[in-house]
Homo-oligomer: A and B are copies of this chain.
């Protein structure tokens, strides 16, 4: 995919935002596509592929949201970005019959990303189409487990007590340093969502929690 992008746009600056999205986990991908891209400058092109339906009839999309471009499959992956910053414009990309049917990241999405990065207008990449599919994001749940085992929920402030399995999480803190050892606490994370952590420990292990798991508000 990077080779195709650099072929189409030799001066592109490539940044790997994350390779830690669990396989086939579209909600986690949608979270990372929002959280990992929101600080990039306007006009940046973001290519995201979490694509269990590659080869099915799901649409291939390129869109503009929050002043940035996003390219990928229409399976809910753009849901959180659009929820957070609003959709400006979306086009449907054509399939590439000569491409490999199992690797549209390389054969469909990367060429579109290269074109956008080179200044090709979004409108010229495909025909206007209906808004992307959204996620069902209504129940409180864990969107993401970060590299330290901290749990990112889909809840916004204010901080509230929660339950995961039989664990009541009632403490709150502003930083890890403020928290007590061994006691899980809720805080407003750096991405604007409520998170659950344990100081210098992995909250996912202590609480038996994984991305996708529902949580209960008390």
Contact = CB atoms under 8 A, between A and B. Distances in A.
Interface residues of A, number: 40
A13 interface: yes
B13 A15 contact: no
Contact of A102 (B102, B175, B200): B175
A175 B13 CA distance: 31
B175 A101 contact: yes
Interface string A156-192: 0000000000000000001111100000000111100
Contact of A40 (B3, B11, B39): B3
Contacts of A52: 176, 200
B177 A56 contact: yes
Interface in A1-21: 2-4, 6-7, 10-11, 13-15
A13, A102, A200, most chain B CB atoms within 10 A = A102
Interface string A108-127: 00000000000000000000
A89 interface: no
Contacts of A174: 55, 101-102
A10, A100, A147, most chain B CB atoms within 10 A = A100
Interface in A138-159: 147-148
A106 interface: yes
Contact of A41 (B6, B107, B147, B189): B6
Given A3-B15, A3-B38, A54-B177, 15 more contacts: A3-B37, A3-B39, A6-B13, A6-B15, A6-B41, A7-B39, A10-B13, A24-B200, A39-B106, A53-B177, A54-B175, A55-B176, A102-B176, A106-B190, A107-B190
29 contacts: A3-B37, A3-B41, A6-B13, A6-B15, A6-B41, A7-B41, A10-B13, A14-B15, A24-B200, A39-B106, A52-B200, A53-B177, A54-B175, A54-B177, A55-B174, A55-B175, A55-B176, A55-B177, A55-B178, A56-B175, A100-B188, A100-B189, A101-B174, A102-B175, A102-B176, A102-B189, A103-B189, A103-B190, A106-B190
